[in-house]
Amino acid sequence: MTAAEQASANIGVVGLAVMGSNLARNLASREGNTVAIYNRSYSKTETLLTEHPEANFVPASTYEEFAASLSKPRTAIIMVQAGKGTDAVIDALTEAFEPGDIIVDGGNALFTDTIRREKAVRETGINFVGAGISGGEEGALLGPSIMPGGSAEAWETLGPILKSIAAIAEGEPCVTHVGTDGAGHFVKMIHNGIEYADMQLIAEAYDLIRQGTGATPAEIADIFAEWNKGELESYLIEITAEVLRQVDAKTDKPLVDIILDQAGSKGTGVWTVQTALNLGVPVSGIAEAVFARAVSSKPAQRAASAALPGPSSVPTVDDKAAFIEDVRQALYASKIIAYSQGFDAIVAGAEEYNWDIKKGEIAKIWRGGCIIRARFLNRITEAYAENPGLVALVTAPYFTDAMAGTQDSWRRVVGGAAAAGIPTPAFSSSLAYYDSLRAPRLPAALVQGQRDFFGAHTYKRVDMDGTFHTLWSGDRTEIEATDSH
Ligand code: 6PG
């Protein structure tokens, strides 16, 4: 190999498991790209080369060879399992690369790890970019939604490459420079939190229709396929119809009845909720979705509780079509709440970590490629374009109208589910959150009174400034307190 041939690749991929090899193939399929590829065990690299001889790949068997095959500034995307493995690859690349080069972590890293890594790598003069990549295996191959953080300098080189491989929604590539250091992985984490809520809401809708009307999974698949033609149109609704239609080859039964009803998770939903708790943002729909998976995965508790008493009489569904339409409306309303809560978390994260995140841009890059892609994301973009300082997404005119149109159905569904003993944690908590937001007065006043009673935690008054404490164990007069707890 001559020196010129050696440095012929403009982008590299480290880690050639399914996501990594699909992303490498996507990159190689775009005009002008030559892709350096490296995997810890060379056999994976060989397999990729054999299976795709047409692709513009430059294989490397060591990090030194990998670095030598890249033109400068060298740009490499790491696609390995998030965690310790990522640190080891970053160390190796930092060793092999030079100041000005760019290391991109395309895994599902925890954003605080990305902040730490960016700081450490920056000290070597190398750029580090944490990029959230959504869309699963197919998205990686055909066009994902990409959420990169990192420096503006890195974005200059990286932006055009990422734009060339991202999904296209309404003529625009689904990628934007989200913000500095961990901003990209933060936004990807929130994306996954919304994904959890959306999936749980859809699952509750399915369960309600099945239990309420006795429809078969295949019939419910038709209902979801129909819903996918309207305002609920989204990737998750589309795949739900396919999952429900699937028949198990071994038993001829609906596959959904054969799959063990214990939902797993890799942790990004938990991170979203933990982060939101730290930021003080109520993401109750997302939290209920995470907890619903946790409840499902407690077989001993579920078995021991199976004989617990339920409602003495279960209401019947007389008008099945009307009930199904109610569920559709309830799903739409709850989904709006899930996105509203997710965007609240983005706003709070941006404030805490000093990121200039453009909410409308985030909604735009989620319109294509990613798991939560949905028709109504355009409405979110419009809402933030009209009012960038929107305090709660649900208060934008379009969504307020949607709430007016859906809420009677929503209330009937949540009330009916409670009466029938069908668990709807995400539907119910979304409605409770919505009613909390709109309540002119909340019983939080009583909570403050209780806190002041047992802990002298003080309270504020509605009619004057200052901080007050009541002498509960004395003559119960009120005194102005100097420090609040
Ligand atoms: C995506 C997905 C992807 C992954 C989730 C699954 O955007 O492409 O979110 O990142 O499938 O992490 O998460 P759980 O295993 O936790 O459900």
> What does the pLDDT look like over 147-166, one tens digit per residue?
999 999 999 999 999 999 99
272 close to ligand 1 (CB < 6 Angstrom) = no
Question: Of 1-15, 134-148, 407-421, which range is least confident?
Answer: 1-15
User: Is the pTM of the predicted complex or chain greater than 0.75?
Assistant: yes
User: 344-368 burial, b if ≥16 CB within 10 A, otherwise e?
Assistant: bbbbbbbeebebebbbbbbbbbbbb
Q: What does the block give as tokens for 270? A: 């938990």
3-state secondary structure 102-157: EEEECCCCCHHHHHHHHHHHHCCCCEEEEEEEECHHHHHHHCCEEEECCCHHHHHH
Active-site entry in 5, 118, 119, 188? 188
Q: Is residue 297 within 8 Å of 263, Cβ to Cβ?
A: yes
Residue-level pLDDT at 7: 77
Ligand 1 pocket, 69 CB below 6 A? no
Q: What's the pLDDT score for residue 482?
A: 80
- What pLDDT does 5 receive? 53
Q: How far apart are the first and last CA of the chain?
A: 70
Nearest ligand 1 atom to the CA of 195 is 9
Q: How far apart are CA 81 and CA 39, in angstroms?
A: 13
Q: What pLDDT is stored for residue 432 in this prediction?
A: 98
Cβ of 181 less than 6 Å from ligand 1: no
The pair of three-digit structure tokens given for residue 54, joined into one six-digit string:
């047409």
Q: For the purposes of burial, counting CB atoms within 10 Å of the CB of 444, is it exposed (0-12), middle (13-18) or buried (19 or more)?
A: exposed
81: left (phi over 0), alpha (psi -120 to 50) or beta: beta
The reported pLDDT for the residue numbered 6 is 67
Element (H, E) at 22: helix 18-29
Distance 192 CA to ligand 1 centre (A): 6
Compute the distance between CA of residue 377 and CA of residue 360 in angstroms, rounded to an integer.
9
Q: Measured between alpha carbons, how far is 138 from 148 in angstroms, rounded to an integer?
A: 19
- Phi and psi, residue 36, nearest 5°: -80, 135
Q: Is residue 4 very low, low, confident or very high in pLDDT (cuts 50, 70, 90)?
A: very low
Predicted local confidence at residue 17, as pLDDT: 96
Is residue 353 scored above 50 in pLDDT? yes
Average pLDDT score over the chain: 96
Question: What Rg value do the Cα atoms of the chain yield, rounded?
Answer: 26
18-33 average pLDDT score: 96
For residues 355-384, give the mean pLDDT: 95
Please give the Cα distance from 34 to 27 (Å, whole number): 8
Per-residue confidence band for 2, with pLDDT thresholds at 50, 70 and 90: very low
Is the CB of 143 within 6 Å of ligand 1?
no
Q: What is the pLDDT of residues 323-337, one digit of tens each?
A: 999 999 999 999 999
Reported confidence tier of residue 200, pLDDT bands at 50, 70, 90: very high
Q: Are residues 216 and 236 in contact, defined by beta-carbon separation less than 8 angstroms?
A: no
138 has catalytic annotation? no
The Cα 170–Cα 79 span in angstroms is 28
DSSP states of 295-319? HHT-HHHHHHHTTS---SS----S-
CA 190 to chain centre: 4
Instruction: Report phi then psi at 293, rounded to 5.
Output: -65, -35
Rounded-to-integer distance, Cα 457 and Cα 471, Å = 12
Q: How far apart are CA 226 and CA 210, in angstroms?
A: 16
pLDDT per position as a tens digit, 170-189: 999 999 999 999 999 999 99
CA distance 247 to 71: 50
- Token output for 330: 């309830």
Ligand 1 centroid, distance to 372 Cα (angstroms)? 11
pLDDT at 483: 59
The tokens for 264 are 């797993």
Q: How far is the CA of 321 from the centre of ligand 1 (A)?
A: 34
Q: Which residues pair with 70 in a beta bridge?
A: 9
135 CB within 6 A, ligand 1: yes
Which atom of ligand 1 has the smallest separation from the CA of 145?
7
Question: Do the beta carbons of residue 246 and residue 239 sit within 8 Å?
Answer: no
